[in-house]
Structure formats: C-alpha cells, structure tokens
C-alpha cells in the first residue's frame, strides 16, 4: 500500500446488529456489499469488516457467530474488488478464517492482549496487523478509572504489543499502530492523544499510525446541546472532520472513517496545507 505518500482511508463496514453509530444497518449480505462498494467508489483504500461491536458496553459474541457474520462478506468482497479488506477481530480463529477468505489485514483492538495467537495467524498469512491500544474490554472500558499519564500508557503498551507481534513472526513492515481513541480513555485524554499525535509518531519511527475517531462519543460530548445531552452519532460529521484534519496535520498515515467522501475532501485540503512550500 502507498503508506506515507498520502493519508489512506479505511472505510468502516460494521456487520453487527448493535454498533454504536450504524448498528444493524448493514447486517444483510447485499446491504453490506453495496455499502462497501459505495465506500470504494468514494475513495476508500481499505474496507474494515467487523462482526463484533466494540462500542463501550458492547457484549462479546462467539467465534462461530462472528465468523458467520464476517466471512460471507469478506468472500464476496474479495471476489469483487482489489481493495484490501481488513477484519476487525481480537480472536485468532476468526482472524485465520477471515484471512483464508480473502482478508489481507487484521485490525486487533486489543493489540494481542486478548489472544496473542492472532499474531501467528497474521504471520502465517503474511498479512498486515493493526495493533490498537485499549484498556479492559469493550464491556468494561468505560468504567475503568483513567490512568495518570495516557501518553506513557499508550507508548508503553504498544511497545509490548509490537514486541509480541514481532516475536511471533509478524514482519516489522506489516505492523500499524493506533492509540485507540475512545478505548479506556477520559474525555481529556482523547483530546490529549489527538493533540500529541506527532509525539506518538516520533516515538515509533517506521511504524505507520492509524487514527479512528469517527463519530465517537468524545465528539458527541464536545457538541452537547444546551441541556448537556451529547450530539447523536449521526450529528458528529463536522466534529469528525476536525479530528481528520488534526490527524493529517500531525502526520497520521491512515484514518478509519464512516463517511468516506467527506474524509477524502477533508484530507485533500489538509494535505495541501501541510505540503504548502511556503508555510506562514
Ligand atoms: C474497530 N475499531 C473501532 N474504533 C477503532 C479505532 O479507533 N481504531 C481501530 N484500529 N479500530 C477501531
């Protein structure tokens, strides 16, 4: 993939009945394929297929159920498109079957904490691996007390995950890191991570960085109405575009988004500003 030449876009395809911002919309195979094709036509570079909700409070699903949700979608997409498909899973059995079905990347929101055999499946397939920082599990992360120093926590934890991945045979150039915006972080810590992305990138030379802030709750809280009620997920697009601009200006390599067309346009403008030969 042309990592570093331009900011790549990972389009989100949730095939879950309960995802936080588009739950249930793309559960049928036809609807999922149509949505993926729409995102590809708008400029998605990767399609991320997830069969288990990772929203705060989300309940786990069985290996069998997750495979039943993601594999038919991955098989159908792999037949139709050259665009790389990633599978959003923390389970080695799901990763293995998804890679056989045509996925090229595993997006692990536990960064191997839940099941380090994910790394073996990735290494065997010569696939890519996204290591995302998180704390606890999706069911518990919103109840955890915040850590004192989030930059230290994310850096330390991702270093351990990278070491584990490489020890189990994943090539250094196949790994992407991700600070996991919204996963076991306080409101201030989500903002701090975004504001200090350049420091995070500098701490991991040679590892591309992915940011996923699309429609997340911290944006809803920033855009709360006069009663204090957070903005609903469908009203978080402009807030999301601010996070994409920030990510591009700080040098992120990949953004994970729901709204591909809006992200493409935002990235074009932000990159032009970043590449301006005459900075003010
Ligand atoms: C599955 N998923 C939900 N949020 C995510 C994020 O921020 N990054 C990655 N890599 N995956 C995510």
133-152 pLDDT, tens digit per residue, is: 999 898 888 888 889 999 99
Question: Ligand 1 pocket, 180 CB below 6 A?
Answer: yes
Question: Ligand 1 pocket, 134 CB below 6 A?
Answer: no
CA-nearest residue, atom 8 of ligand 1: 212
Structure tokens given for 270: 């932000």
| Inter-residue contact 85 to 47 (CB < 8 Å) | yes
Residue 78 in this model has a pLDDT that exceeds 60: yes
CA-nearest residue, atom 6 of ligand 1: 212
**Of 257, 255, 166, the residue nearest 204 (C-alpha):** 166
Active-site choice (68, 256, 261, 268): 256
| CA atoms of 151 and 140, how far apart (whole Å) | 21
Sign of the CA dihedral running 239, 83, 128, 29:
positive
pTM: 0.95
| CA atoms of 46 and 43, how far apart (whole Å) | 9
Q: Phi/psi zone of residue 169: left (φ > 0), alpha (ψ -120 to 50 degrees), beta?
A: left
Tens of pLDDT, residues 173-182: 999 999 999 9
Tens of pLDDT, residues 185-197: 999 999 999 999 9
Distance 109 CA to ligand 1 centre (A): 6
Residue 7 in this model has a pLDDT that exceeds 70: yes
Residue 33 in this model has a pLDDT that exceeds 80: yes
> Given this model, what pLDDT does residue 224 score?
97
Q: Is 216 a catalytic residue?
A: yes
Active-site choice (216, 221, 236, 278): 216
Helix (H) or strand (E) holding 12: strand 8-14
Q: How confident is the model at residue 22 (pLDDT cuts 50, 70, 90)?
A: low
Q: Which of 69, 212, 258 to mutate to test the pocket of ligand 1 (most atoms within 8 A of CB)?
A: 212
CA-nearest residue, atom 7 of ligand 1: 212
Q: Which of 61, 256, 258 to mutate to test the pocket of ligand 1 (most atoms within 8 A of CB)?
A: 256
Question: Ligand 1 pocket, 256 CB below 6 A?
Answer: yes
Question: Ligand 1 pocket, 138 CB below 6 A?
Answer: no
Structure tokens given for 92: 């080695």
Q: Over the chain, what is the mean pLDDT? A: 94
């Amino acid at each position: 993939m042309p990592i570093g030449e331009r900011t790549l876009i990972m389009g989100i395809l949730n095939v879950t009945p309960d995802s936080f911002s588009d739950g249930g919309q793309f559960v049928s195979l036809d609807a999922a394929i149509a949505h993926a094709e729409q995102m590809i036509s708008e400029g998605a570079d990767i399609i991320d297929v997830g069969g288990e909700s990772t929203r705060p409070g989300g309940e786990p699903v069985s290996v069998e159920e997750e495979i039943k949700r993601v594999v038919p979608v991955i098989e159908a997409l792999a037949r139709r498109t050259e665009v790389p498909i990633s599978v959003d899973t923390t389970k080695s059995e799901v990763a293995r079957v998804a890679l056989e079905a045509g996925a090229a990347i595993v997006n692990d929101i536990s960064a191997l904490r839940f099941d380090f055999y994910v790394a073996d499946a990735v290494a065997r397939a010569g696939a890519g691996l996204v290591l995302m920082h998180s704390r606890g599990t999706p069911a518990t992360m919103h109840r955890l007390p915040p850590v004192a120093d989030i930059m230290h926590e994310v850096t330390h934890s991702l270093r351990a995950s990278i070491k584990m991945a490489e020890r189990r045979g994943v090539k250094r150039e196949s790994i992407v890191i991700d600070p996991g915006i919204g996963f076991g972080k306080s409101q201030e810590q989500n903002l701090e991570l975004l504001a200090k992305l350049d420091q995070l990138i500098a701490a991991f030379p040679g590892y591309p960085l992915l940011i996923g802030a699309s429609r997340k709750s911290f944006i809803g809280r920033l855009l709360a109405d006069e009663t204090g009620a957070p903005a609903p997920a469908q009203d978080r697009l402009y807030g999301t575009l601010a996070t994409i601009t920030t990510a591009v200006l700080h040098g992120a390599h990949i953004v994970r988004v729901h709204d591909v067309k809006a992200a493409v346009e935002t990235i074009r403008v932000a990159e032009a500003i970043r590449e301006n030969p005459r900075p003010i």
